[in-house]
């Protein structure tokens, strides 16, 4: 009997270790902020904000809350999401996803381009409807369905405000009523209401999406209040003595979900610091367990700080021989004529707008999801006139990016590396290469530096320069996004004609290097 007991304990311990080894955090790394989640049967669906990028609102699917696959983008038609000249402080803010009686709902804000709206679909993969405009403004809108009623909350005038709407038409049925202003932290936002154990629980974020970010909660027997705050607020923050040394900071903006076994979980955003108090990969999506006793208050992660848990590195290669995956994004509403996918190549036609101008540049990229990676491409044909260039970019925003390219300057071909930082654009590297048929461009990172190199034969690489990642951090350049790794083409020819210059990209490879912190 003792041997059986000992064996059972060993098996239990091994099971716990195996379960922990399978966990990852962040669950969706890189620039994936403001998560919202819903469960439909055995399936979980999660959405993130996308700001000035198109398509908008990436949507993910999981069955275990740990392994997530992007299954599309909610706003995948330009008619759904006007983004003209949107900066990384504008565009699509925090979405909420909900499911009710066979229909999926996604509600969000297009800052600078019309405010709050909602789209619906019969399947999470779409097609999603055209936008249904909403009267009540304030960012971060959310929905609660209760019987035949549909409630909407958002935060106009820094007050969590509730109204009833018609979910089919978006028509507001009741006046907006302020129900809570939080516990005193600035920017009370990200509201979600849950009906549990006879209470309406109101979850919000406070403190701004920065170091002082926090999640607080209140409850009421009446949906219109008054709301009683949790005496133990905030229920999650890393702006504390306990978590001040953590790599993970800025924890906030959460959404609660219950799994089929009755357990509660919280998805939320946070960022990871590198090289001191700098973060360049943006706000990411994390997961934490929640204990929520009947009639009581939810406790996140046992009241302890959130720890990063390693994931296996990924490797992806795109040979442009099939339609691009859901993870590829453009800036603003792209001119589709500038992107031609054929014969195993992606042809980018030079835009007259460069990456510093925040105006529909020819750009296509993917999010940086690991601090340690290699991003590489081959340009195997180009037609560049004087003033034209094409290459790769490490792009945080229009006022903070790095560009490595082949450029035609005075009808001479150069390999160049340029930093654009707050309208200062120093050339970090220039070398004439003469007439070459092919050019490989590569950027790699060790979490501290971006290291750029080029090759004319695909074998021997020549380092151009290395640049500290912190230069492209949010703390340095601002904005609400994170780094994307992309391809671009630009025409600076004074006699510019649309499509007159172009470059053909043969492939793109993104591979992560080793386990990350």
SS3 string, 377-428, reads EEEEEEECCCCEEEEEEEEEECCEEEEEEEEEECCEEEEEEEEEECCECCEE
The token pair at 305 is: 């700080």
The answer to whether residue 357 is catalytic is no
- Other Cβ atoms closer than 10 A to 89: 15
Of the candidates 189, 356, 369, 376, the residue annotated as catalytic is 189
Beta-ladder partners of 488: 363, 391
Half-sphere exposure of 73 (CA within 13 A, CB side): 22
Residues in the chain: 517
Distance CA 507, CA 338 (A): 17
The token pair at 340 is: 């031609």
The answer to whether residue 189 is catalytic is yes
| Cβ neighbours for 29, distance < 8 A, ≥ 6 positions apart | 281, 284, 285, 311, 369, 370
Angle at alpha carbon of residue 43, lines to 38 and 49, rounded to 5° = 40
| Cβ neighbours for 184, distance < 8 A, ≥ 6 positions apart | 206
CA distances from 260 to 115, 337, 376 (A): 35, 46, 42
Catalytic residue ranges: 34, 189
């Amino acid at each position: 009997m003792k041997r059986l007991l000992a064996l059972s304990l060993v098996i239990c311990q091994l099971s716990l270790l195996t379960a922990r080894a399978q966990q990852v955090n962040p669950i969706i790394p890189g620039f994936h902020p403001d998560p919202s989640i819903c469960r439909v049967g055995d399936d979980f669906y999660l959405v993130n904000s996308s700001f000035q990028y198109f398509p908008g609102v990436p949507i993910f699917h999981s069955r275990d809350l740990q392994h997530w696959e992007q299954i599309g983008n909610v706003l995948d038609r330009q008619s759904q999401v006007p983004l003209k000249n949107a900066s990384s402080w504008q565009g699509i803010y925090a979405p909420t996803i909900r499911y009710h009686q066979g229909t999926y709902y996604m509600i969000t804000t297009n800052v600078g381009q019309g405010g709050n709206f909602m789209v619906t679909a019969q399947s999470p993969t779409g097609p999603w409807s055209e936008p249904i405009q909403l009267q009540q403004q304030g960012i971060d809108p959310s929905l609660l369905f209760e019987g035949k009623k549909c409630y909407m909350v958002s935060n106009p005038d820094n007050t969590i405000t509730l109204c009833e709407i018609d979910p089919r038409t978006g028509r507001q049925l009741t006046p907006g009523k302020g129900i809570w202003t939080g516990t005193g932290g600035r920017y009370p936002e990200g509201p979600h209401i849950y009906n549990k154990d006879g209470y309406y629980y109101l979850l919000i974020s406070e403190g701004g999406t920065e170091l002082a970010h926090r999640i607080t909660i209140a409850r009421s027997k009446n949906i219109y209040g008054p709301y009683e705050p949790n005496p133990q607020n905030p229920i999650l923050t890393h702006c504390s003595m306990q978590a001040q040394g953590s790599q993970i900071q800025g924890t906030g903006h959460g959404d609660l979900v219950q799994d089929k076994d009755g357990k509660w979980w919280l998805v939320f955003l946070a960022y990871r610091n590198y090289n001191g108090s700098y973060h360049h990969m943006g706000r990411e999506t994390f997961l934490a367990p929640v204990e929520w006793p009947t009639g009581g208050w939810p406790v996140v992660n046992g009241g302890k700080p959130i720890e990063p848990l390693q994931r296996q590195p990924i490797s992806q290669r795109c040979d442009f021989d099939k339609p691009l995956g859901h993870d590829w994004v453009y800036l603003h509403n792209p001119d589709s004529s500038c992107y031609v996918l054929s014969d195993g190549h992606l042809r980018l036609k030079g835009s007259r707008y460069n990456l510093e101008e925040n105006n529909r540049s020819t750009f296509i990229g993917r999010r940086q999801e690991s601090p340690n990676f290699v991003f590489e491409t081959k340009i195997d044909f180009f037609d560049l006139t004087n003033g034209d260039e094409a290459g790769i970019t490490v792009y945080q925003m229009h006022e903070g990016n790095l560009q490595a390219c082949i450029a035609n300057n005075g009808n001479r071909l150069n390999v160049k590396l340029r930093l654009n930082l707050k309208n200062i654009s120093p050339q970090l590297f220039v070398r004439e290469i003469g007439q070459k048929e092919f050019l490989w461009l590569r950027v790699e990172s060790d979490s501290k530096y971006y290291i750029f190199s080029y090759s004319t034969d695909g074998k021997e690489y020549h380092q151009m320069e290395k640049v500290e990642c912190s230069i492209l951090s949010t703390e340095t350049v601002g904005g609400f996004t994170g780094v994307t790794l992309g391809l671009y083409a630009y025409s600076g020819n004074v006699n510019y004609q649309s499509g007159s210059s172009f470059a053909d990209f043969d492939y793109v490879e993104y591979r992560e290097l080793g386990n990350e912190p």
